[in-house]
């Protein structure tokens, strides 16, 4: 990926988010957007930073985020897969990384019918959820949740979920409203741009990034650098075609969606995924999503 392209996208978004009538007015939101601009070519880092910020801001037990969760053009489902999450240390809920949630579920579709935050004070009583969805949420400890649909203009991007282990938590209405406005006005464009930029990266760029990681304040240190290099070398072992498939899978795309994106057959995608799993030492696609998200995220010091 050309550095000039990244700088061009950053400048365009900076003008949109910090200047004129479209500028973010909420100071905490401006600070988050400014931080995401620094990591714009790394969607996993952007999602992680967002979940960390929102968990602290909303005082949630767990916040997760990722692409998908909507039914797109011609009724094609983009199922939701969390690629980043942050959990409360004192009362951790189970991880949802790599789990897939059905975009056709009425509860999921209800999130997209509104443009603000979807507040569900008691999951067990939520009528829009199917028994399957309700059961899946109970299995991961969710008693109450806020769901934020992430859009870039009119185009759906993904979902951010804030979960609590108890029913009817005390939500600050103004804070929830500000978070919803920030999601639509800033997070949607930022995360959509991050995804587009990431697809231009190569395994060699990732390896070079890890190898050139600076020492000093904020760096990983010698042991951390070695670990980052090991992760980068594993990813660099993938062919360019495999790496592109790995990125798309890490974003939560289905086999069919990956095949359409790279204009290859399902059998080709299946073959590439088997090769990727073998090289990274994982057995299932769900585990692959988790491992890819973790390794791509941790390459950045």
If asked whether residues 126 and 143 sit together in one domain, one would say yes
If asked whether residues 84 and 169 sit together in one domain, one would say yes
If asked whether residues 207 and 191 sit together in one domain, one would say no
pLDDT digits (tens, 9 = 90+) for 142-184: 999 999 999 999 899 999 999 999 999 999 999 999 999 999 9
If asked whether residues 192 and 211 sit together in one domain, one would say no
Average pLDDT value for the chain: 83
Instruction: Give me the domain span that covers residue 281.
Output: 203-298
Boundary residue ending a domain (170, 197, 224): 197
CATH classification at residue 170: 3.30.450.40
pLDDT score, position 247: 81
78's CB contacts (< 8 A; 6+ apart) are: 67, 68, 69, 70, 71, 72, 103, 156, 252, 253, 254, 257
Percent of the chain whose predicted confidence (pLDDT) is above 70 = 83
CATH classification at residue 245: 1.10.10.10
Mean pLDDT across 275-300: 73
pLDDT score, position 296: 61
Q: Could you tell me if 175 and 20 are in contact, meaning their C-beta atoms sit under 8 angstroms apart? A: no
pLDDT score, position 217: 32
Q: Tokens 């969760």 belong to which residue?
A: 69
pLDDT digits (tens, 9 = 90+) for 63-87: 999 888 999 877 888 888 888 899 9
If asked whether residues 53 and 76 sit together in one domain, one would say yes
If asked whether residues 182 and 247 sit together in one domain, one would say no
pLDDT score, position 107: 92
Q: Structurally, how many domains does the chain consist of?
A: 2
If asked whether residues 236 and 287 sit together in one domain, one would say yes
Distance CA 112, CA 127 (A): 16
- Does residue 10 register a pLDDT over 50? yes
If asked whether residues 274 and 255 sit together in one domain, one would say yes
The band of 225, judged by pLDDT with boundaries at 50, 70 and 90, is very low
Distance CA 189, CA 22 (A): 12
Residue 78 DSSP SS3: strand
pLDDT score, position 300: 46
């Amino acid at each position: 990926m050309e550095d000039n392209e990244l700088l061009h996208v950053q400048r365009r978004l900076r003008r949109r988010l910090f200047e004129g009538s479209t500028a973010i007015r909420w100071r905490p939101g401006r600070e988050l957007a400014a931080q995401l601009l620094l990591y714009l070519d790394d969607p996993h880092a952007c999602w992680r930073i967002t979940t960390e910020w929102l968990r602290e801001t909303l005082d949630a037990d767990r916040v997760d985020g990722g692409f998908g969760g909507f039914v797109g053009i011609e009724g094609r489902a983009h199922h939701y897969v969390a690629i980043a999450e942050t959990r409360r240390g004192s009362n951790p809920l189970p991880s949802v990384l790599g789990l897939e949630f059905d975009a056709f579920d009425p509860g999921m579709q209800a999130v997209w019918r509104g443009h603000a935050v979807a507040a569900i004070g008691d999951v067990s009583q939520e009528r829009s959820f199917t028994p399957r969805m309700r059961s899946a949420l109970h299995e991961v400890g969710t008693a109450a949740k806020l769901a934020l649909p992430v859009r870039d203009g009119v185009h759906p991007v993904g979902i951010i979920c804030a979960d609590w282990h108890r029913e009817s938590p005390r939500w600050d209405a103004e804070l929830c409203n500000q978070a919803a406005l920030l999601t639509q006005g800033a997070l949607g464009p930022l995360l959509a741009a991050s995804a587009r930029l990431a697809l231009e990266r190569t395994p060699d760029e990732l390896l070079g990034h890890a190898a050139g990681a600076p020492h000093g304040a904020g760096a990983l240190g010698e042991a951390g650098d070695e670990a980052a290099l090991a992760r980068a070398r594993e990813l660099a072992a993938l062919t360019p075609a495999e790496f592109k498939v790995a990125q798309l899978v890490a974003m939560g795309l289905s086999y069919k969606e990956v095949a359409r994106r790279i204009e290859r057959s399902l059998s080709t995608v299946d073959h590439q995924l088997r090769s990727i799993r073998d090289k990274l030492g994982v057995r299932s696609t769900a585990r692959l999503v988790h491992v890819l998200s973790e390794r791509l995220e941790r390459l950045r010091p």
